[in-house]
Structure 1
Amino acid sequence: MDDKQHSISSLLAAAAARAVPVVRGVDERQLGGPTPCSGYSVRELLDHFFDVVVNFTRLGGKKPSAFAEKPDYLGTSDWRERFADEVDRLVSAWGAPGAEEGTTGAMHQPARTVGCMALLDLTVHAWDLARATGQEYVPDPAGVATLAAVIDELAPAARDAGMFDEPVHTAADPSPFEELLAATGRDPYWS
C-alpha cells in the first residue's frame, strides 16, 4: 500500500482540481441521466459523491464517519459551490499533521489506506460524472499511479461490500487509468 512518494493531501488536491470543474459543469437537466457507476443516476451519484467527501473529511480528522446517514446534499441551488468547499475541507483534513499516521475509521484501517480510498472515490466518481454528462476528464497521473499500486488490495473488500462490481475486461494495451476503472467494475469505454 505504500506509494508514499506523494502525500495524500497533495494527491487529493490534484484530484480535486480535476473533480470540482466536472461537478460545476453538471447541468440540472442531466440529473436524471445514467452514469457508469452501477445503479446511480447523475443526481444520486452527486449526492453519494458529496457524502463520500464529507465522510472522508471526518476520517481524515480521525473522527467517526456517518456513512449510514443519507442527507440530501443537492437540496439547495448552491450545491456546486458547497461541493467545492467540502472538497477544500477534505484536502485540508488530510493535510493536517498526523492525518496519514495510525488508523482511522470504524474498521481501524491504516490512515493512508483510508486516504487512498478517498482519492479513489474522488478520481473515479469525477470520471463517472464527466462521462455521464459529456465532459472531458483527465485524471492526475500521480494519483492514478498511487491507486494502481493499491487497487488489488482495496478491490476485494470493496466488491464484498457491494461498492465495486466484478472487474471488466479492457481492450488490448489499456492505459493505467483504464485498468484502474476496469478493476472497479466500470467499463472504461462507457458512453
Structure 2
Amino acid sequence: MTTPAFDMEAAATAVETVVSGVTEADFERRTPSEITVRDMLAHVLSFTEGFRQGATKEAIGRSQPPGPAPLAPDWRERIPAQLKALVAAWREPEAWVGETEVGGVLAPAPQMAIFALDELVIHGWDLARATGQPYSPAQEDLAVLLGFLRDTPREGIPGLFGPVIDIPAEAPLLDRVVGLTGRDPAWAAT
C-alpha cells in the first residue's frame, strides 16, 4: 500500500486562517498574482474541489481547465469545508497511486499532490499579502515545493509561473519558493 508522501493539513489550515481574515472590503484589492482578492477566493473554491476530485480520481476524463467564475455567496463556509475535504482525500493511500486528472491535465497522482500543495501555499501567500495578514507555511511544505520548483525555467512557465526572481540562497525558504513562482517576496499591497 502506498503511504502519502506528505500531508496537506498545515497548508490548508494556513489558507483557512488567512481566508477567515478576509473581509468584503478586501475584495477589490490586487494580489501578487495580479487578480483581485475576490477572484482569488473564487480560484481557491475551484482548485480545492478540483484537487479533491484529483485525489479520489472521480474526474478522470471529465475535468475541465479552470476558468473565471464568480465568487459563491457561501464562500466563507465552503472554503473551510473544501479545505478539510481536500486534506482528507489526499490522506487516503489510493490517492497517491497511478494517474489522476485535474483541470483537464492527466499526470501521476504524486505530482498532482505537489501541484495541490503549491496552490495552497502560494495562493495562501497571495491572499495574505493582498490583505496585510501574517503568513507562515510549514517549513516541511516549503521544502517539498523548493524541490518541485527548483528547476523552473528562468523565463517561467506561461500560465503557471512568471519569470523566476533571483533570491539569495540564505533568504528565508518562503522567499525562495515565492521567487521561483515569479513573485517578489517584498511585494506589498498598495
Q: Normalised by the size of structure 1, how large is the TM-score?
A: 0.86
Give the distance between the partners of 2:92 and 2:4, measured in 1 at CA: 15
- Provide the secondary structure at the position in 2 that maps to 1:104: strand
The correspondence for 1:150, drawn from 131, 148, 151, is 148
Cα displacement (A) at 1:161 = 4.1
Deviation of the 1:149 alpha carbon:
1.2
**What is residue 106 of structure 2 aligned with on the other side?**
108
Partner amino acid for 2:187? W
1:52 aligns to 2:47 (yes or no): yes
The answer to whether 1:82 aligns with 2:78 is: yes
Residues in 2 aligned to 1:68 and 1:18: alpha-carbon distance in whole angstroms: 23
AA in 2 matched with 1:88: K
- Give the CA deviation at 1:163: 1.5
| CA-CA distance at 1:71 after TM superposition | 3.9
Partners of 1:51 and 1:70 within 8 A in 2: no
**CA, structure 1 residues 33+70, in 2 after alignment: closer, same or farther (shift >3 Å)?**
closer
- 1:63 matched to 2:58? The reply is yes
Equivalence for 2:92: 96
> When the two structures are superposed, what TM-score results if normalisation uses the length of structure 2?
0.86
Matched, 1:168 2:138: no
CA distance 1:43–1:7, change in 2 (3 Å): same
Q: Tell me, which stretches of 5 or more residues in structure 1 are unaligned?
A: none
Q: Relative to structure 1, is the Cα distance of residues 152 and 70 closer, same or farther in structure 2, using a 3 angstrom cutoff?
A: same
Question: What is the total number of aligned residue pairs between the two structures?
Answer: 181
2:4/2:91 contact within 8 Å kept: no
Comparing 81-90 and 106-115, the one that deviates more: 106-115
Q: Structure 1 residues 34 and 95, CA, compared in 2 at 3 Å: closer, same or farther?
A: same
Shift of 1:189: 0.8
Render the CA deviation track for 1:41-97: whole Å, top value 9, x for unaligned: 11111111211111111111112233345443x231x31221000111111111123
Separation in 2 of the partners of 1:54 and 1:69? Answer: 14
Contact 1:131-1:190 within 8 A present in 2 as well: yes
Larger RCO, structures 1/2 (Cα 8 Å, 6+ apart) = 1
| Alignment partner, residue 180 of structure 1 | 177
Distance 2:4 2:66 in 1: 31
Q: How far apart are 1:150 and its partner, in Å?
A: 1.2
Measured on the aligned residues, the alpha-carbon RMSD in Å equals 2.2
Which ranges in structure 2 are unaligned for 5 or more consecutive residues? none
Equivalent-residue separation in structure 1 for 2:4 and 2:145 (angstroms): 12
